[in-house]
Structure 1
Amino acid sequence: MSKLPAAAPFDFAGSSTAVCDAVLKLRGDALHAELGRIAACLLASPQGTFVLCGAGASCAPASREGRLEKDVQVDGRCVGRYEVTGRAYTLDDWRQLEGLAALTGTLLQMHGLAQRTTHAYAHMEAQLAHQSQILDQIHESVLTMDRMGYITSWNKGAEQLFGYTALEAIGRNILFLYADEDPTPLDAFPEEGGRMMEVRRRKKSGEVFWASLSLSPLNDLEDHPIGLIAYLTDITERKLAEERLHHLAYYQELTGLPNRRLFGRLVDQSLTVAQRNETTACVLYVDINRFRLINGTLGRRIGDELLRQAAQRFRNALRDEDVVAHLAADEFAIGLFDVRQHFEATTVAQKLQAALEAPFRIEGHDLRVGASIGISVYPQDGQDAETLLRMADIAMERAKENAQNPDKSVAFYRLDMNQGMEQRMKIESGLRHALGHGELVLHYQPKFEIASGRLVGAEALVRWKHPTRGMVPPSEFIPLAESTGLIVQVGEWVLEQACAQASIWQQAGLPPFRLAVNVSAREFTSSLPDRVASTLRRYRLPPYWLELEITESTLMHDIEQVIDIMDCVNGLGVALSLDDFGTGYSSLSYLKRFPIDTLKIDRSFTTGIPRDSSDCAIASTIISMGRRLGHRVIAEGVETVDQIEFLREAGCDEVQGYLYGKPLPACEFEAALRENWLLVA
């Protein structure tokens, strides 16, 4: 109970402020005493109290004179009662007390709600802290992200796994943890749980590791998806163990090459592609000669090292797409795919044998070995890897038995293929011999200007004068030289001999004419301009004596590099001619960029002139195109008067063929030049 102070009574606004302060700051008896004092002051009463009461108290004024009471209710429940006494009270006094009680009830209700909310938040914070402690104590890395992939939480396990603190990680996109080669895009994440995957991630240190990743949806209170929860566990050790087991199961431990089991799988996969593309494939079975003798005499350690070095030499001799396997001991297998002709496998076999020619220097020993090789061909000899391998093994045994030199012996499983291979190998070895023993000669076929009938040039054509077979047709040895790479040596020899002969004719006083030399695609490299320049300098030959003929197949490689090489050749003053035009696949959009002087119509289009309307149309189109581009046009293979008349009317500039002159040796060509042909000055 509180007595009225001597100060002037409150107005209602002042009482409201006092009640607000009391509810906010006081509790228990102190609050009740202050509320009683405020009521006494408001009504200018000698005595005022606030007492707790139960529900159902009367809301009417007290019946006794000199006393006024009013319940304070919160949500329909009585929580206390104002009582003032000591004077006569009016209806206005009752209304003021009623207003004070209503205000007090409202303030107590709001304060209670605020307290409950505060307690709820405190309880929630305690729960979150508790959950955070639990997440931080588990070893698994747990993080959450929004639907755009930005990290929203990061536990201690994530800190330990990745090395980033929560402060460094939260707010960044999850992609910063990806390894560079990780193929999993962010939009591949599911919106429902149950997705498990194995991924590669990157730590703060830069180390890349394998992790097991589990994703679960993160929903809001209305169960709408707002992000993902990611659980990660480091599984690097398990993955390394799996890789070791895989390597043991599919690779030879000694050489690191695929074993027979993996070789079979790889070959079968490639045969499926070969079947779809209707191409040929070959399997080579390689047996290293004298290995068992070396292994038994010098010991297994030296034998193992020999096998390791042999395996490396084989790998270096093959293309990346070829499959090489170590089957057992001294036996290897090679898978060749996308092979155009089966005999190309013999070239690979010879490369493998050549790779073993240099001695193996191991612990002070110079060891020499060779190889016998058997070849089987898909689809003739088998439809699967195991069959082809078995057939190649039989062919290898046949090669060992039938060869005078086992280190150079190669055999196909089918006898008819062996006969073709033996003939091809004889031609190849003979051509190598011919290059070094003067069996190659040049013949020269003249080129004439149609308008004047005068000679304007000649093409240098290589011929092989075999000591027993006589003249070997170019169609027999040029394709072989192309497939074996000998065409580079042949081409170098032709350029050298043609320039030497042109120098002789220059010194003999003959007027200059263009001497054309064919350049293969293998020769058309960045070293060509320097080789041409040095050859011209060596024979003191002006560049206008020389013309290089290139085929359209040469242009199918790096266009920009080809144009750079052509520009360098042009810079020397040497003319360029595009041979066999119309038979290749060069883009006409590039033709205008090639710095060429002459287009040569292939003989396949001149043969049918003038009977074949298609040949006539093609030849006319090439001539018209060449003239519009500012190139001279020459037709080869001209053998009849009708052909020359058609070409003259179509506007062709030059011709070459048996109608005017066949290829002749240098001395006969010079004699005909002096006696019968006129040179264009």
Structure 2
Amino acid sequence: MYHKVPFKIIVLNIFLVFFPIIVEQYNESSTEFIWFLHLIPIYFAIYYLSLSRALVFSILTILLHFSWEFGESIHTSEIQYHDIQIFISTTVMKILAILATNFLTTQIKQKQHNLEEANQQLQLQTKDLEYFAYNDYLTGLPNRYMLNRHLSTEINQRNEQELAVLSLDLDRFKMVNDTKGHGAGDELLQLVSKLLKQLVRPRDIVSRQGGDEFIILLKGSGKRESKQMGQQILNEFSNPFFLSDEELFITPSIGISLYPRDGAKADSLIKNADKAMYLAKEKGKNNFQFYTSKLDSSLEQKMVLEQALRKVIENKELVLYYQPQIELITDEIIGVEALLRWNHPDMGLISPLEFIPLAEETGLIIPIGKWVIETACKQTKKWHEKGFTSLHTSVNVSVRQFNDPYFVNYIIEVLSKTGLEPKYLTIEITESIMNNTKKSLNIINQLKGIGIKISIDDFGTGYSSLSVLNELPIDYLKIDQSFIKDHETNSNKNALVKAIIQMGQNLNFELVAEGIENEKQINILKNYQCGFGQGYFYSPPLSVNKVERLFQEMHLKTNENIIFRVP
């Protein structure tokens, strides 16, 4: 890279070309000194011109000096051959010096240019690092560090004036990643970020904390304003998001903390808003909750429960109970549903409603689910060896477990290890698994190829479409107990139960009614030709020893046409 020649340099160089001649004319200086003066314009030529132009300029400068010397010698009739020798030798040396100097100068300039470019890139990278140190890379929103800075500043400037912190978490976001892919998940997060920024005022802050969690800082807002914002967010989320022209519905759970009531520091306000958000999830998701001090004890208990849950398999605290499934026409036991229980050494039996969601949330459902499948298959094989050869066992599988890439291989491994024939194992899945029909169909077909039966559990509580059900190779459809309860006295429920049974029959599914509580319900279900049922009318979930006694009792008394019921 060569510099653009400024006009003042051109004028200066012209002067310097003739300056040695002027000095020699008026001052008797040595030849070597005069030649040194000629190097000054040559230097400027090297610095400002390209190599070829610098050489031409330098040679012309030297020839100008030589012509002057030669002209002076002719005028005085004194030709100094010694001067000519000096001129020739010094000219060659000067040209070599010019070439060497030009080469070195070019190298230096190139290195300077490279350093300048590297410095510019470093400055840009530094700016990027500074930006992403305080902003989220995916959405461009402020991250947790920037939010903490803003929130701390606001607290210091508020002088006890109110502000609100909203912690928002997307419900079932992991299912979007699992079924649609992480690209779709990222796109959804960007759309959510854009929506939240549109909903708040310019002075408010929307921050992404990581994953699918967002924090909203409402400046100068109290309980009334934050409640309005929470409801507005819920209303907006009732509309679908469009991912590549595909509709997707997702709901938020929102927790709200208020300054100064719920905390005097940024960390405590965010932490308490998170606690309220978890309460919103526990209350069914798609709602908002305010922080209260009572949450501290319940969340502390949840943390204790989580730590204990991580050791349940190692400590052998898990146990399976079995609820009989009855053929309604014959009153015979045809199978059992394996139901998980946690027998904690200090807290006793812990309800699945309490620890299963926690296992789902923490990912512990994968190892726990594997334990359930292996234990149920081992026990069923033992029952077969004891003479209950036609008994089959149903095992519930969570969405997370079902989408595990090693799920099918694990089932094959367990069947091989236990020696249980695949036809005696039924995998129960929920309607929510059908969100990704293509993937679910692939897994179901693999299981069916092995010989395993498939059951849709809690049918009627999800969002299954009839077209999807028609595509799936399902064996059983389990009618949720919410439909069975009081259906004998509630005409609307009764109509729904009848419609579900007729639909299942038309699709060639076997129907299983859950939650049967009285004989009148059984008679109605028989009348609608529902094939199977289970519930407390027949038996609650029982331990292995108790359910074995029930097998024997039901077998004996069924022959006498007497229904056995556990009080």
Q: Shorter chain as normaliser: what TM range? A: 0.5 to 0.7
CA change 1:281–1:457 in 2 (3 A) is same
Which whole-Å CA distance do the structure 1 matches of 2:547 and 2:365 have between them? 25
1:443 aligns with 2:317: no
CA-CA distance at 1:509 after TM superposition: 2.3
Q: Which residue of 2 aligns with 1:532?
A: 411
Unaligned runs of 5+ in 1: 1-235, 268-277, 283-318, 324-332, 342-376, 397-411
Which residue in 1 is equivalent to 2:256?
379
Of 152, 164, 168, the match for 1:281: 168
Q: After TM superposition, list the pairs within 5 Å mapping 1:94-493 onto structure 2.
A: 247=128, 250-252=131-133, 262-263=146-147, 280-281=167-168, 335=209, 378-381=255-258, 389=266, 391-392=268-269, 415-493=293-371
Match of 2:501 in 1: 623
Counterpart CA distance in 2 for 1:480 and 1:390 is: 24
Q: 2:428 aligns with which of 543, 549, 565?
A: 549
| Amino acid across the alignment from 1:499 | C
Match of 2:278 in 1: none
Aligned 8 A contact 1:455 1:678 in 2:
no
Query: Which structure's CA Rg is the greater one?
Result: 1
| CA displacement, residues 621-666 of structure 1 (integer Å, 9 cap, x when unaligned) | 1100000000000000001111111111112110100111111111
Structure 1 stretch 581-590 or stretch 624-633: which is displaced more?
581-590
Are 1:250 and 1:261, in contact at CA under 8 Å, matched by a contact in 2? no
Q: Give me the identity figure in percent.
A: 35
Amino acid at match of 2:257: Q
Match of 1:569 among 442, 447, 450: 447
Contact persistence 1:250–1:259 (CA under 8 A) = no
TM-score normalised to the size of structure 1? 0.45
Give the C-alpha shift of residue 444 in structure 1: 0.6
1:381 maps to amino acid: L
Asked whether the 8 Å contact 1:518–1:548 carries over to 2, the reply is yes
Residues 453, 422 of structure 1: CA spacing in aligned structure 2 closer, same or farther, 3 A cutoff? Answer: same
Whole-angstrom CA distance in 2 between matches of 1:483 and 1:600: 25
Distance of aligned partners of 1:388 and 1:555 in 2 relative to their CA distance in 1, 3 Å threshold: farther
One-letter amino acid of the structure 1 residue matched with residue 447 of structure 2: V
Distance 1:661 1:632 in 2: 21
Asked if the contact 1:511/1:679 (under 8 Å) is kept, the reply is: no
CA contact 2:257–2:272 (8 Å) conserved in 1: no
1:494 deviation in Å?
Answer: 0.5
Q: Please name the residue that 1:663 is paired with.
A: 541
Change (3 A) 1:335 1:644: same
Question: Is the alpha carbon distance of 1:239 and 1:568 closer, same or farther for their aligned partners in structure 2, counting shifts above 3 Å?
Answer: same
Give, in whole Å, the separation in 2 of the partners of 1:553 and 1:488.
17
Separation in 1 of the partners of 2:364 and 2:557?
A: 35
2:387 aligned with 1:509: yes
Contact 1:456 1:680 in 2 (8 A): no
Structure with bigger helix share is 2
Residue 371 of structure 1 corresponds to none
Give per-residue Cα distances to partners, 1:515-534, cap 9 Å, x unaligned: 00001100113422211111
C-alpha distance in structure 1 between counterparts of 2:166 and 2:516, whole Å: 37
Q: Name 1:591's counterpart in structure 2.
A: 469
Aligned-partner SS, 1:626: helix
- Structure 1 239/265 Cα, relative in aligned 2: closer, same or farther at 3 Å? farther
**Cα offsets for 1:6-46 (capped at 9, x unmatched):** xxxxxxxxxxxxxxxxxxxxxxxxxxxxxxxxxxxxxxxxx
Q: Does 1:523 align with 2:369?
A: no
Q: Give the AA of the match of 1:555.
A: M
Q: Where in structure 2 are the equivalents of 1:594-605 lying within 5 Å?
A: 594-605=472-483
Relative to total residues, which structure has the larger strand share, 1 or 2? 1
State the 1:418 CA deviation: 2.0
Deviation (angstroms), 1:538? 0.5
Alpha carbons of structure 1 residues 661 and 252: separation in structure 2 relative to 1, 3 Å: closer
Structure-2 change in CA distance of 1:468 and 1:247 (3 Å): same
Aligned counterparts of 2:331 and 2:494: Cα–Cα separation in 1: 22
* Secondary structure of the corresponding residue to residue 373 of structure 2: helix
Q: CA deviation at 1:440?
A: 0.7
After TM superposition, the runs of 4+ consecutive aligned structure 1 residues lying more than 3 A away are 236-253, 255-267, 319-323, 336-341, 386-396, 412-415, 677-681
How much does 1:334 deviate?
7.1
| Cα-Cα RMSD | 4.2
